[in-house]
Amino acid sequence: MHRRQTFRALAMASVFLALPSHAQETDDTEAVPVLRSALPAGSVNATADPMLSETEEGSAAGSNVIQPESVAAEAPSLRGSLPSPELRAVIRPVPPSQSAKLPAVAPSLPLVTREADARAEYEPLGLRVGSFVVNATSTTGIGLRHHSAQGDQTFLRSTGVLAARSDWERNSVDLRVGGSFRRSLSGFEEKLPEGDARLAARFDVTDADRLTATADWTLRDEASGDGKENTFSGSLGYERFGGLVGLQAGLAADRTVNETDSTLDNTALSLSLRLSHDSGAVLQPFVEMSAFGRDFDRPAAGDGLKRGGIGGEAKIGVTVASDDLTGEIALGYGYEWLKAGSLEDISGLIGSASLSWDATELLRLTGTATTSFEPTSTAGASGVVKRIGGATVTYALAPNAFVVAGGELTLEDYVGIDRNVTTTALKAGVGYKLNRSVELGIDGEHKIVRSNEAGGDYTDSSVTATLTLRQ
């Protein structure tokens, strides 16, 4: 009798304790499909084209597939969030995807439409190595170029990318190594190398807390500018998504070494914080703040002044996540105080954007924008406020063929002296995939550079036929 009473008491207590938990699970189960339906329609594509920009890679990683109730019921009480962007202060170098001088045809559309099955037949499968999926891409092209000041040129262009992505339920590691090289075959002598490497890791501490770490290297060779420049970067981040407020914090260090002008060698540190209204709605506002500092190894040769300084920035913006439109846009203000009193401080409006719109199942529009405070050794100039904006249109002619066109506008304003440089670049290309591994293409670029400095104007046009091999 005593045992029966004890059993009944325990059973009643279990029922009362389970009621709040059951109500919470019901709410969470209903919330999961709502969030996932707001994610961009797509599939995680481990074989994505390595020429994808950071914007396109992020927007192609979502899924609108609603999980079964048994899976949804196991979802954490703190709702997940959209793939978070990398915190990047204006003191940090412009992302490689927006600074590369070698033109590249944009990738084909992702597998998100009714034609997904047909397009999948032309996508590389990759190579599985343990729990990693490895993709390799190489492109060889021969082209003609006309430079208004340097003359005509025939060149050979080679590009290679190796990417590996983990296939784990929790945590992730991504590796990407790429390089490009353009060499003159006839005409004026030129060798133009570029490269980049990135190792990114994500550690899911809890269902709502995440740690991130990245290590990067980029090589830029500006034929008309500052020559070869290596940048070594590292960052640590913490993210928390849950409730109504999402938090993202990051600490980053960038070391720049210029092989042509050693007075541009510098080290930059930045600390960034973003707070977002993580409600799961299509539009989510956020505020982002950063503090930064930069120190140069030696004074500039032009005026003997060191251009180190400290500064900060603040932006407000909104992220958008619907079935066909994803990304974010923000606007704010940045300020950098220079230690040298004779140099003017750097300040101005700053903006950033990263948007991708699948207007139809055959048409994709993308747009990007960045603002950065670039160093300079020009006498009397404190630095350069560089603003870059671009747009790309990609249209699928067939499951294995696409055409792309786009443009980019770069504004460089030298602070402290009267010098402005405007660069307009127009690009177009066509790609045709013979099978999963072979693609033929042709791309062209026309660049117009205008400067208020004598002798700074020129045009640069090129057309290239390419052969791409993918694994």
DSSP 108-172: PPPS-STTHHHHHTTS---EEETTEEEEEEEEEEEEEEEETTTEEEEEEEEEEEEEEEE--SS-E
Cβ-based neighbour number of residue 95 at 10 Å? 21
pLDDT at residue 361 in the model:
86
Question: Which among 468, 467, 450, 442 has a CA at the least distance from the CA of 144?
Answer: 442
**Region 330-347 average pLDDT:** 94
Residue 469, SS3 per DSSP = strand
The rounded Cα 57 to chain-centroid distance in angstroms is 8
Q: Which residues have a Cβ under 8 Å from the Cβ of 398 and sit 6 or more positions away?
A: none
Q: What is the pLDDT of residues 223-238, one digit of tens each?
A: 445 578 899 999 999 9
The residues that bridge with 138 in the sheet, in sequence order, are: 160, 469
Q: Would you say residue 3 has pLDDT above 50? A: no
> With contact defined as beta carbons under 8 Å apart, do 210 and 238 qualify?
yes
pLDDT tens string 401-413 = 999 999 999 999 9
pLDDT at 225: 53
**Lowest mean pLDDT segment, chosen from 2-6, 42-46, 356-360:** 42-46
Long-range contacts of 295-300 (CB under 8 A, 24+ apart): 295/266, 295/267, 295/268, 296/263, 296/264, 296/265, 296/266, 296/375, 297/262, 297/263, 297/265, 297/266, 298/262, 298/263, 298/265, 299/263, 300/263, 300/376, 300/377, 300/378, 300/379
Domain residue limits, the chain: 39-470
Tokens of 128: 């599985």
Render pLDDT for 144-203 as a digit per residue (tens, 0 to 9): 999 998 899 999 999 999 999 998 988 999 999 999 888 889 877 777 788 999 999 999
Residue 120 has pLDDT above 60, yes or no: yes
In this prediction, residue 114 carries a pLDDT of: 55
The token pair at 448 is: 């117009």
* pLDDT tens, residue by residue, 420-433: 999 999 999 999 99
Residue found by looking up tokens 């020129």 in the block: 458
Distance CA 436, CA 441 (A): 15
Q: Which two tokens stand for residue 15?
A: 């029922």
Report pLDDT digits (tens) over 74-117.
333 334 444 567 888 999 988 766 665 555 544 544 444 556 67
Q: How far apart are CA 437 and CA 323, in angstroms?
A: 30
Distance separating alpha carbons of residues 413 and 15, to the nearest angstrom: 69
Mean pLDDT of 324-352: 94
pLDDT at 32 over 60: no
pLDDT at 35: 28
The CATH number for 39-470, chosen from 2.60.120, 2.60.40, 2.160.20, 2.40.170, is 2.40.170
pLDDT beyond 80 at 69: no
pLDDT band (50, 70, 90) for residue 207: confident
pLDDT at 27 over 50: no
More confident residue, 23 or 294: 294
Q: How many CB atoms lie within 10 A of CB 26?
A: 11
